[in-house]
């Protein structure tokens, strides 16, 4: 079964493009010089942001819904290496997950990352065939205040 996604990308002058899905709008930009101010993420930054957001949602869903882990927060630092020659594709991506919570099981986080990569995150699945993606995680122990228990 397939479904269709639809966006409208409208050139706004310079290297700016507004993308609209009928409800939400995103502005993307691409500086022509290193010192040039931009009004949005570049398309490659948006791709990296899509991977981070997709993997964050899938990892959090597995940890909280399927594995019942006491996760109170999740952050992902996404880094990418980009070729200088055209096409300036991403050549390697690193995702560093910071999982917050009291008593989160490291084995559960490993399983959630594996599920995200292999099944749940379509962006990760699309990119991993051509771009190496390395994922790691750290746990940040957070105690639940007595007043919240």
pLDDT given at position 143: 72
Q: Is a pLDDT exceeding 70 seen at residue 145? A: no
pLDDT given at position 147: 58
CB-based contact 137:100 (threshold 8 Å): no
Phi, psi for 135 (deg, rounded to 5)? -120, 140
State whether 14 and 76 are in the same domain.
no
What is the residue-averaged pLDDT of the chain? 94
Nearest CA-CA partner of 18 in 4, 30, 28: 28
Q: For the chain, what is the domain count?
A: 2
Buried b (16+ CB within 10 A) or exposed e, 49-73: ebbbebbbebbbebbeeebebebee
The two three-digit tokens of residue 107, written as one number: 């084995």
Q: Is a pLDDT exceeding 60 seen at residue 92? A: yes
Q: Is a pLDDT exceeding 90 seen at residue 6? A: yes
State whether 116 and 100 are in the same domain.
yes
Phi, psi for 25 (deg, rounded to 5)? -125, 145
For 37, the enclosing helix (H) or strand (E) is none
State whether 32 and 71 are in the same domain.
no
Tell me the pLDDT tens digit for each residue of 110-141: 999 999 999 999 999 999 999 999 999 999 99
State whether 98 and 140 are in the same domain.
yes
State whether 33 and 49 are in the same domain.
no
Range of the domain at 95: 43-148
């Amino acid at each position: 079964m397939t479904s269709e996604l639809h966006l409208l990308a409208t050139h706004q002058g310079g290297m700016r493009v507004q993308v609209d899905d009928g409800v939400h709008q995103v502005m993307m930009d691409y500086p022509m010089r290193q010192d040039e101010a931009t009004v949005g993420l570049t398309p490659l930054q948006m791709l990296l942001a899509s991977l981070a957001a997709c993997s964050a949602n899938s990892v959090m869903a597995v940890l909280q819904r399927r594995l019942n882990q006491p996760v109170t927060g999740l952050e992902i630092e996404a880094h990418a290496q980009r070729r200088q020659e055209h096409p300036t594709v991403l050549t390697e991506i690193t995702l560093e997950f910071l999982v917050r919570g009291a008593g989160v099981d490291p084995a559960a986080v490993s399983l959630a990352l594996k599920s995200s990569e292999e099944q749940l995150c379509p962006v990760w699945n699309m990119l991993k065939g051509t771009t190496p993606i390395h994922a790691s995680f750290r746990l940040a122990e957070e105690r639940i205040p007595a007043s919240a228990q």
